[in-house]
Amino acid sequence: MNIVNFAHGDFLMLSMFVSFWLYALVGLDPLFSIPACALLLFALGLLIYKFAVSRVMRGPMLAQLVVTFGVSIFIANTAVLLWTPDYRLIDKTLLSGTWHFGTVQVSVPKVVTSVGSVLVSAALYLFLTRARMGKAILATEMNRDSALLMGINTDRVNAISFAIGSALVGIAGAFLSMYYYIYPQVGGMFGTISFAIVALGGFGSITGAFIAGILVGLVQTLGGYFFDPAYKYAIVFFLYLLTVWIRPQGLLGW
Amino acid sequence: MAYTKGNLVKVVVSLLALIGPAAALAQAPKVVKIGAVYPLTGNIASTGLDCRRGAELAVDIINGKYDMDLPLARTEGLPNLGGARVELVFGDTRGEPKNGIAEVERLVTQEKVVGIIGAYQSSVTKTASQATERLKIPYVCYDSSSPTLTQSGYKYFFRASPHDALFARDQFNFLKDMEKKGQKVQTIAVLYENTEFGANVGKEVLKLAQEYGYKIVENISYAANATDVTSEVGRLIKANPDVLMHASYITDAILFTKTFKEMNFKPKAIMTFAGYIEPAYLPAVKADGNDIVVRSTFALDLAKNKPLVGKVNELFKKKYGVDMSENAARSFTAPFVLADAINRARTTEPEAVVKAIQETSFGPNQVIYPWQGVKFDPQSHQTGDVAARGGRRPGALPPHPLRETPCPSNSSNSSSTGCSSGASTRSSPSGSRSSGA
């Protein structure tokens, strides 16, 4: 449906706060708040789509571009108002500590997050390629008019895909809240990098985004370690520029 | 002419019309607006809020009547301007240098402020001070610590606080003191965020390490908004320094603290600048924030030697429900300098105010921090500029009983390590901050 969601980082922040409040108020471990975060963010995605995005889908291109930007500013500032700009951390989680393999140290929550992310990516892939709704989403993405001619309710498909994207960032937020600090502007840098990853992988390609995500993570960490940490983001974005120079559609884009 | 009733009225009215403008000229403005630029939203909004509170309390004291030694405390408003009230107009920089310029321009041209304070981040202060220089508006900064800010020869920019060259030197003096007590320190790694503030602390540390005879084994700059610092900490572990010196803002301080723990990086000491002293730091990292040394220009235990500190903190606590933090204490002083100068100048006209700022002379008992007061160097516009006065032996600081010395955190008995007031001590793993030394 070709909408860039600039509020993606803020959705991440909201999910982290959901996870935090479930922990602070009911004592629920972030691991178990994953379904709640996913569901709530799915609902939020539907709402935002219905009341903001779908309205401008028929409007000019520029309106489509800035609508989620407005949503982003609204969410971030409301969060500051509601929860103060302070930093919060969930300090006692089921999964904590570090595994040591010789000289290699791996943080337990980060390992679980990686495994969880792979599982979710696989599930998404299966959904898109096997499920009826998933195929409809892919069809709409490929060619909206043809999909419409085939009897696909593209407006509904758009709403669902927007909501699924939102639910996915909800899951990411719950995982991240296990080890990352939470504050109203936390989404900023994550949002920027996620755009680079999607563009690097190729818009519309799940496999591409998956590979690009791992690539960016590796380049950032190893580049920082062996070259110079000051340039680690420069290396990542250089890789991105290099890729779009050679393959403007991204690694696996059409 | 017959003096009829109607004519009399006309005469009186025209007389009033003549006197009117003259009276307005003699009468000082009722409100003096000062612009305050801080990062009120964005990555370090919690810091901005803290700064805002300090500045607001200062203006309360200037406008009200308080029995304290602070300038203008005992009188209401600015007495030489007919008791004019000071009003703060805030500008939000979001922590970005480009907004430093934009907000100063907005405050000066639209809100008609007559002076600027702020902006916390040195990188933002740098651009904001370029704007005030162009607009010819006085700017009194207390909360930015990069040494270069007062090295541009600006006419309208003044800094009422010492800067990182002094703070870094104090950290090294502290290190030497620890060596005298039997600690063996040979190697230092320096880690700093890559904007104006961090990069200049990095430079100072590199310079001082050579002067004090320590070997630098790693030199890392990084982006303060990084989401992951595994590679940075990986390099630190590989370098294995005795001491790490780290200049950061708050979010990166939290992220590094977590990553140090996760990757088990434990040098003999972690000595830090800025981010680690923020009130939001300890509640976020809790016990992981123990055993970290941080420089501070303010601590509540200063009240032992300076009753003024206790009194001001009481007011602060009454107003906001929390103790005064370092940020609030730092932004607290700038409004006094500016208001005092305007009061002495008897006008808000920029040239006269700048001249009055130049003649500022606050004694040690008129400020809430541990230095000698406020007096600006005529060239650099830096208060207590040790380097500018020259001739002082490296390492020798002006003797003062309340000189800033860093304290090791989490030591319940820090007096044994020789640290004095003005340092911050973290004593309780529960996250509450006690500053007893």
ipTM of the complex: 0.84
Say if B303 is an interface residue toward chain A (CB within 8 Å).
Answer: no
B279-307 mean pLDDT: 86
CA-nearest residue to B45 within chain A is A85
- B133-146 tens-digit pLDDT: 999 999 999 989 89
CB contact under 8 A, B235 and A229: yes
Q: Least CB-CB distance to A89: which of B41, B231, B285?
A: B285
The answer on pLDDT for B11 being more than 70 is: no
Cite the beta strand spans of B119-230 per DSSP E: 139-141, 157-159, 187-193, 215-222
pLDDT: which is higher, B427 or B370: B370
Residue B370 near residue B407 (C-beta atoms within 8 A): no
The answer on pLDDT for A24 being more than 60 is: yes
The answer on pLDDT for B411 being more than 60 is: no
- Bridge partner residues of B160 (DSSP): none
CB contact under 8 A, B226 and A189: yes
CA-nearest residue to B40 within chain A is A85
CB contact under 8 A, A87 and B250: yes
Which residues of chain B make contact with A88, given a CB cutoff of 8 A?
A: 283-284
* The pLDDT value given to residue A89: 87
Residue B131 near residue B106 (C-beta atoms within 8 A): no
* The pLDDT value given to residue A117: 94
Say if B255 is an interface residue toward chain A (CB within 8 Å).
Answer: yes
Closest to A240 in 3D by CA, of A223, A210, A215, A204: A215
A 173-232 → B contacts, CB under 8 A: 179-181, 183-185, 188-190, 193, 220-225, 228-230, 232
CB contact under 8 A, B231 and A223: yes
CB contact under 8 A, A84 and B227: no
Which residues of chain A make contact with B222, given a CB cutoff of 8 A?
A: 229-230, 232
Q: Where are the alpha helices (DSSP H) in A27-143?
A: 34-48, 54-56, 61-83, 108-130, 132-142
- C-alpha distances out from residue A120 to A31, A154, A170, A174, B166, Å: 14, 25, 12, 13, 52
pLDDT: which is higher, B421 or B301: B301
CB contact under 8 A, B226 and A77: no
B220 Cα to chain A: minimum distance (Å): 7
Q: Least CB-CB distance to A89: which of B194, B227, B284?
A: B284
Mutate to test the interface with B, among A86, A101, A113, A228 (most CBs of B within 10 A): A86
The pLDDT-based confidence of B364 (bands split at 50, 70, 90) is: confident
* The pLDDT value given to residue A97: 80
Q: Residues near B179 by Cβ (< 8 Å), separated by ≥ 6?
A: B185
CA-nearest residue to A92 within chain B is B286
The answer on pLDDT for B130 being more than 90 is: yes
Residue B272 near residue B192 (C-beta atoms within 8 A): no
Closest to B296 in 3D by CA, of B333, B270, B266, B271: B271
- B227-258 tens-digit pLDDT: 899 999 999 999 999 999 999 999 999 999 99
- Residue B143: both structure tokens together: 């909360």
The answer on pLDDT for B1 being more than 90 is: no
Q: Least CB-CB distance to A224: which of B43, B231, B281?
A: B231
